[in-house]
């Protein structure tokens, strides 16, 4: 089928920023050629979210994995790196989740835990056989340095990248609160930013000793961003840390209770700059706890909020504001599609003849609109139309674009 005309946003492609038609078949792109008509939408390689967390299936009232993946599709995401809030260290559970997600319409990359709740090494080889793409530490777990030191050589042998989260809760202080200038007069005792810095130094030492494939995040501080670049360790941040900072915490609104907590405005600026220069990757860090566990007073509320649907619109708003529309969209696609595909070996990142059916289709509208709360201070002109993973998707979107 002929799909288009669309403006292709694929920085590594010779057709980048040009209006084209694509001849599509089930196996992928047969031909790309210039169009004389005006573009009806924008098209890019499918977007990748390298950090999404689910409470299901261990927490019964939680949003189902299928519902989370539907939100990902609505947000234009075709690849989701999915981890369990409690850590999936049981091969039978991982097999169940793989079965539940195989027809989700999204490419799902499962992140298993390398240790169980008691910090014993999990059956890593069996987890890999059951579909584990990589390995991670669940968000609320202390970093188990002893098992990590033992697990890295084994993981290097078995295969798959290791996601290290360089953060732990402080021994004292208020959960989900940082020590920042914005909160200096509030009377809160929070968690110092050097907790992240110390963890990165320790991770770097293990990395030098064992090698392997490691990615660290979410980076939340200026020092953390500089250190990972200094050590040459791939790193990611989360949309919340480039879009919000600690002033949001002054209202004790539990929607801003995150893990790790929001940092200072200076940290936010450094992370935004890293994003603009494509020197750091971006994740939604989506954590959608059951509402009855979130909408409580601060001390009792769960951490996290849903960010799958706003990952690209907020990133586009930030990048277009800093770089202009054309350069901002190019940077968005580079960070959300091309860089993670290259890092994790997810297939080609250049849209050309032979590229598989793995696209995000969006539109840059003439009028900006505010995003839903709590992101209503952000306005965006990016509207996601859908994703293409099969010809039926392409036919539906072609009709929608008419």
- 68/32 same-domain check: no
Neighbouring C-alpha atoms within 13 Å toward the C-beta of 90: 9
Write down the pLDDT at residue 174: 67
- 341/238 same-domain check: no
Q: How far lies 120's CA from each of 89, 94, 117, in Å?
A: 10, 18, 7
- 229/244 same-domain check: yes
Residues paired with residue 364 on neighbouring β-strands, in sequence order: 382
Structure tokens at 58: 């261990």
Phi then psi for residue 95, to 5 deg, are: -65, -40
- 257/125 same-domain check: yes
Comparing C-alpha atoms, which of 381, 389, 294 is closest to residue 47?
Answer: 389
Q: In whole angstroms, what is the distance from residue 165 CA to residue 311 CA? A: 20
- 38/50 same-domain check: no
Burial of 41 (0-12, 13-18, 19+ CB in 10 A): buried
- 285/160 same-domain check: yes
Comparing C-alpha atoms, which of 143, 240, 271, 241 is closest to residue 195?
Answer: 143
Please say which residue of 289, 318, 347 terminates a domain. Answer: 318
Quote the Cα angle for 184-187-192, to 5°. Answer: 55
Comparing C-alpha atoms, which of 312, 197, 301 is closest to residue 249?
Answer: 301
Residue 324 lies inside a defined structural domain of this protein: no
pLDDT (average), residues 226-239: 96
Q: In whole angstroms, what is the distance from residue 376 CA to residue 36 CA? A: 38
Q: In whole angstroms, what is the distance from residue 3 CA to residue 37 CA? A: 13
- 292/150 same-domain check: yes
Cβ 62 vs Cβ 290: under 8 Å = yes
Is the four-CA dihedral 254, 255, 256, 257 of positive or negative sign?
positive
Instruction: Show the 3-state SS of the chain.
Output: CEEEEEEECCCCCCCCCCEEEEEEECCEEEEEEECCCCCCEEEEECEEEEEEEECCCCCCCCCCHHHHHHHHHHCCEEEEEEEECCCCCCHHHHHHHHHHHCCCCCEEEEEEECECCCCCECCHHHHHHCCEEEEECCCCCCCCHHHHHHHHHHHHHHCCCEEECCCCCCCCCCCCCECCHHHCCCCCCCECCHHHHHHHHHHHHHHHHHCCCEEECCCCCHHHHHHHHHHCCCEEEEHHHHHCCHHHHHHCCHHHCCCCCCCCHHHHHHHHHHHHCCCCEEECCEECCCHHHHCCCCCCCCCCCCCCCCHHHHHHHHHHHHHCHHHHHHHHHHHHHHHHHHHHCCCCCCCCCCCCCCEEEEEEEEEEEECCCCCCCCEEEEEEEEEECCHHHHHHHHHHHC
- 276/389 same-domain check: no
Domain that holds residue 15: 2-44+330-401
Structure tokens at 296: 């409580």
Residue with tokens 């260290």: 89
Residue 323 lies inside a defined structural domain of this protein: no
Residue 66 lies inside a defined structural domain of this protein: yes
Number of domains in the chain: 2
Cβ 282 vs Cβ 238: under 8 Å = yes
- 215/364 same-domain check: no
Q: Return the CATH number at 126.
A: 3.20.20.140
- 389/277 same-domain check: no
Write down the pLDDT at residue 223: 95
- 175/314 same-domain check: yes
pLDDT tens by residue, 354-400: 999 999 999 999 899 999 889 999 999 999 999 999 999 999 999 99
Residue 325 lies inside a defined structural domain of this protein: no
Q: Whole-prediction pTM value?
A: 0.95
Statement: residue 228 has pLDDT above 70 = yes
Write down the pLDDT at residue 250: 87
Cβ 42 vs Cβ 329: under 8 Å = yes
Comparing C-alpha atoms, which of 247, 246, 225, 245 is closest to residue 237?
Answer: 225
Q: Return the CATH number at 374.
A: 2.30.40
- 300/356 same-domain check: no
pLDDT tens by residue, 90-149: 999 999 999 999 999 999 999 999 998 888 999 999 999 999 999 998 887 778 888 888
Structure tokens at 228: 């990972």
Statement: residue 239 has pLDDT above 70 = yes
Does residue 108 or residue 169 have the better pLDDT? 108
> Model confidence at 169, in pLDDT bands (50, 70, 90)?
low
> Model confidence at 173, in pLDDT bands (50, 70, 90)?
low
Cβ 135 vs Cβ 169: under 8 Å = no
């Amino acid at each position: 089928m002929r799909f288009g005309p669309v403006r292709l946003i694929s920085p590594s492609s010779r057709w980048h920023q040009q209006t084209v038609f694509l001849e599509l078949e089930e196996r992928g792109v047969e031909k790309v050629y210039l169009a004389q008509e005006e573009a009806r939408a924008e098209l890019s390689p499918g977007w990748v979210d390298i950090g999404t967390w689910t409470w299901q299936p261990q927490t019964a009232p939680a949003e189902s994995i299928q519902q989370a993946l539907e939100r990902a599709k609505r947000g234009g995401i075709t690849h989701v790196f999915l981890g369990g809030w409690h850590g999936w260290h049981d091969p039978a559970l991982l097999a169940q989740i793989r079965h539940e997600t195989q027809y989700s319409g999204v490419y799902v990359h499962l992140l298993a835990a390398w240790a169980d709740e008691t910090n014993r090494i999990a059956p890593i080889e069996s987890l890999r056989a059951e579909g584990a793409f990589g390995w991670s530490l669940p968000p609320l777990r202390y970093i188990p340095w002893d098992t990590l030191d033992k697990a890295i050589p084994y993981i290097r042998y078995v295969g798959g990248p290791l996601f290290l989260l360089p953060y732990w809760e402080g021994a004292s202080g208020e959960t989900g609160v940082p020590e920042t200038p914005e909160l200096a007069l509030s009377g809160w005792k929070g968690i110092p930013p050097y907790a992240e810095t110390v963890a990165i130094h320790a991770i770097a030492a293990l990395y030098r000793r064992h090698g392997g494939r490691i990615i660290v995040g979410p980076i939340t501080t200026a020092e953390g961003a500089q250190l990972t670049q200094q050590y040459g360790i791939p790193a990611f941040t989360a949309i919340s840390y480039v879009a919000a900072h600690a002033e949001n915490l002054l209202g004790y609104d539990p929607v801003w209770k995150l893990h790790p907590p929001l940092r200072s405005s200076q940290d936010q600026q450094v992370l935004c700059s890293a994003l603009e220069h494509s020197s750091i990757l971006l994740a939604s860090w989506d954590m959608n706890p059951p509402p009855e566990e979130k909408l409580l007073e601060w001390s009792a509320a769960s951490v996290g909020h849903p960010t799958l649907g706003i990952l690209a619109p907020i990133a586009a708003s930030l990048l277009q504001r800093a770089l202009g529309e054309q350069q901002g969209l190019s940077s968005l696609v580079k960070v959300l599609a091309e860089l993670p595909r290259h890092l994790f070996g997810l297939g080609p990142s250049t849209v050309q003849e032979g590229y598989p059916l793995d696209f995000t289709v969006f539109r840059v509208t003439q009028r900006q609109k505010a995003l839903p709360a709590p992101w209503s201070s952000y306005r965006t002109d990016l509207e996601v139309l859908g994703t293409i993973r099969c010809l039926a998707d392409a036919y539906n979107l072609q009709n929608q674009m008419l």
